[in-house]
């Protein structure tokens, strides 16, 4: 772990000005199989797509391609640019000649962000399935899938590397494109299995990252060539059934080989992800736990992170620290006539008095992933 953080620190010094100074980062996670890993062609970013060919100095990327054998790729934090994809047959150091939807997603969410910077954690590999490779369960069906094990290691490592540089971080949401390897038939059984597996996956991601309502955006499998209807329907059904889960249609997107989106469609997919994400994360002021209601639970989130400069989920005014000003945002957002009642309860629960500016020190809640994890070897998996 120390070696990883140290390497990211050195990388940070090399890619200033993006890293210079302490900033507040909105972190997005991108995960899935080949269409998230990306088969867009760098050489085709010409004409109207030319703006996506250049590095984006205000957006950072941390890319991991887990492996159950040789072939692990892990970049640490780098400037977002095309080339962070591992297509079939690629065995050289990154960057490669391919890219995924993170390129246009990053540009779109950065354009919609005024005071915060953007960082994307990408964990993906082509040909991986949800039923075993991304399986988060190690209870009944054996050990966790190697992709999920890699995911639950890579994401906190990347976050901690940003925090080690003094930055404040909030995980804003996750985009997901996967399912081609789970859709061998269009039977009801295929639908039911994928629906159950994806529901469990989303619940596990939220639990392991410590964000109970993490916005989760599902990208629809390609719908041009036909087939895989059971998985596409299951994707839509999961989005309809779960809170803060949305569905991005692939209607109108072209594929080059029956499965993988063309370069232009990869760009469009990233933009669709971004538009849906922006809508999903636009929370009510003071709604720190993103459940759509401003209430006592949001005060408890504020209380747990008061004084923090490393976790921004209760930083309502985006100034890089969770403090009394953010409490004031919560208090002013509580619906009348509940404000005084909830504030009184808050005094009892947290010992907080709104009229005092006295600084206090107390233990702060840490996300689940803050607990040190042990990486299992391939043989242990």
10-15's contacts with Cβ under 8 Å and 24+ in sequence apart are: 11/76, 11/77, 11/78, 12/77, 12/165, 15/57, 15/60, 15/77, 15/78, 15/79
pLDDT of residue 345: 64
Q: From the CB of residue 139, how many other CB atoms can be counted at a distance below 10 Å?
A: 8
The percentage of residues in the chain with a pLDDT greater than 70, rounded to a whole number, is 78
- The tens digit of pLDDT for each residue in 343-365 reads 666 665 555 444 343 333 333 33
**Strands 73-80, 168-177: parallel, antiparallel or unpaired by DSSP?**
unpaired
Percent of the chain with pLDDT over 90: 54
Rounded to whole angstroms, the Cα distance separating 45 from 307 reads 45
When pLDDT is averaged across residues 326-337 and rounded to a whole number, the result is: 81
* Distance of alpha carbon 381 from alpha carbon 204, whole angstroms: 18
The per-residue pLDDT of the chain, averaged, comes to 82
Q: Which residue in this structure is represented by tokens 């059904």?
A: 237
> What is the reported pLDDT for 358?
37
Question: Residue 378: is its pLDDT beyond 50?
Answer: no
> What tokens appear for 9 in the block?
């620190």
* Model pLDDT, residue 338: 58
241 contacts 203 by C-beta, under 8 angstroms = no
363: closest CA among 304, 288, 300, 309? 304
Query: Which pLDDT value is given to residue 68?
Result: 84
* Distance (Å, whole) CA 263 – CA 293: 40
> Residue 376: pLDDT above 60?
no
- pLDDT confidence bin for 227, thresholds 50/70/90: confident
pLDDT for 341 equals 66
2-282 adopts what CATH topology?
Rossmann fold (3.40.50)
Burial class (CB in 10 A: 0-12, 13-18, 19+), 213: middle
Q: What is the mean pLDDT of residues 15-39?
A: 81
Query: Which of 45-54, 250-259, 333-342 has the lowest average pLDDT?
Result: 333-342
Q: What is the mean pLDDT of residues 76-90?
A: 96
In this predicted model, which residue has the larger pLDDT, 342 or 71? 71
Q: Which string of DSSP letters, residue by residue, matches 94-139?
A: SP-SEE-THHHHHHHHHHT-SSSEEEEEEEE-TT--TTTTT----S
In sign, the C-alpha dihedral spanning 237, 276, 120, 94 is: positive
Q: How far apart are the first and last CA of the chain?
A: 20
Q: Look at 36 and 168; give whichever has higher pLDDT.
A: 36
Residues 269-320 pLDDT 10s: 999 999 999 888 765 678 887 766 788 888 988 998 999 888 878 888 877 7
Tens digit of each residue's pLDDT (9 = 90 or more) over 208-218: 988 888 899 99
Tokens representing 195 are 């629906």
Per the CB < 8 A criterion, the answer to whether 306 and 322 are in contact is yes
Question: What is the domain partition of the chain in residue ranges?
Answer: 2-282, 296-368
The counts of H helices and E strands in the chain are 10, 9
Task: Using DSSP, state whether 143 is helix, strand or coil.
Answer: coil
Provide the pLDDT for residue 6. 41
Q: What is the pLDDT of residues 41-70, one digit of tens each?
A: 999 999 999 999 999 999 999 999 998 877
| CA–CA distance, 365 with 305 (Å, rounded to integer) | 7
Q: How high is the pLDDT of residue 344?
A: 65
Classify 64 as helix, strand or coil: strand
pLDDT score of 236 more than 60: yes
Question: What is the pLDDT at residue 377?
Answer: 35
Other CB atoms closer than 10 Å to residue 115's CB: what's the count? 11
Q: Give the pLDDT of residue 18.
A: 44
How much is the pLDDT for 282? 66
Select the more confidently predicted residue: 268 or 298.
268
Question: Which has the minimum average pLDDT: 83-92, 188-197, 326-335?
Answer: 326-335
From residue 124, alpha-carbon distances to 62, 109, 208, 365 in Å are: 11, 20, 18, 30
**For 120-156, how does the pLDDT look when each residue is reduced to its tens digit (9 = 90+)?**
999 999 999 999 999 998 655 568 999 999 999 999 9
Q: Is the pLDDT of residue 3 over 80?
A: no
Nearest Cα to 65, choosing from 76, 73, 54, 57? 73
Strand bridging mode 117-124 / 168-177: unpaired
């Amino acid at each position: 772990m120390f070696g990883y953080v140290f390497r990211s620190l050195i990388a940070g010094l090399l890619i200033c000005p993006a890293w210079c100074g302490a900033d507040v980062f909105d972190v997005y996670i991108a995960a899935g199989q080949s269409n998230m890993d990306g088969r867009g062609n760098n050489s085709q970013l010409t004409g109207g797509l030319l703006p996506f060919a250049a590095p984006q100095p205000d957006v950072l990327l941390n890319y991991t391609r887990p492996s159950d054998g040789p072939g692990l790729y892990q970049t640490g934090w780098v400037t977002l640019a095309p080339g962070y994809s591992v297509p079939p047959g690629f065995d050289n150091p990154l960057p490669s000649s391919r890219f995924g939807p993170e390129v246009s997603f990053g540009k779109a969410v950065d354009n919609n962000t005024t005071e915060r910077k953007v960082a994307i954690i990408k964990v993906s590999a082509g040909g991986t399935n949800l039923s075993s490779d991304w399986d988060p369960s190690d209870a009944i069906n054996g050990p966790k899938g190697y992709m999920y094990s890699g995911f639950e290691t890579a994401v906190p490592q990347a976050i901690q590397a940003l925090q080690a540089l003094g930055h404040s971080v909030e995980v804003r949401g996750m985009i997901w494109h996967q399912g081609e390897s789970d859709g061998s038939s269009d039977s009801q059984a295929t639908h039911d299995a994928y629906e159950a597996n994806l529901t469990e996956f989303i619940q596990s991601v939220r639990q392991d990252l410590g964000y109970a309502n993490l916005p989760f955006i599902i990208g629809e499998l390609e719908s041009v060539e036909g087939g895989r209807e059971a998985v596409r329907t299951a994707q839509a059904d999961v989005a309809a059934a779960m809170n803060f889960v949305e569905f991005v249609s692939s209607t109108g997107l072209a594929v080059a080989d029956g499965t993988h989106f063309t370069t232009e469609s990869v760009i469009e997919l990233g933009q669709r992800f971004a538009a849906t994400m922006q809508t999903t994360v636009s929370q009510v002021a003071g709604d720190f736990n993103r459940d759509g209601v401003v209430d006592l639970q949001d005060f408890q989130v504020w209380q747990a992170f008061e004084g923090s400069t490393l976790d921004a989920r209760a930083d309502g005014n985006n100034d890089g620290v969770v403090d009394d000003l953010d409490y004031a945002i919560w208090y002013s957002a509580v619906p009348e006539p509940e404000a005084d009642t909830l504030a009184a309860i808050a005094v009892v629960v947290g010992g907080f008095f709104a009229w005092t500016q006295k600084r206090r020190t107390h233990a702060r809640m840490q996300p689940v992933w803050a607990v040190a994890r042990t990486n299992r070897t391939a043989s242990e998996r």
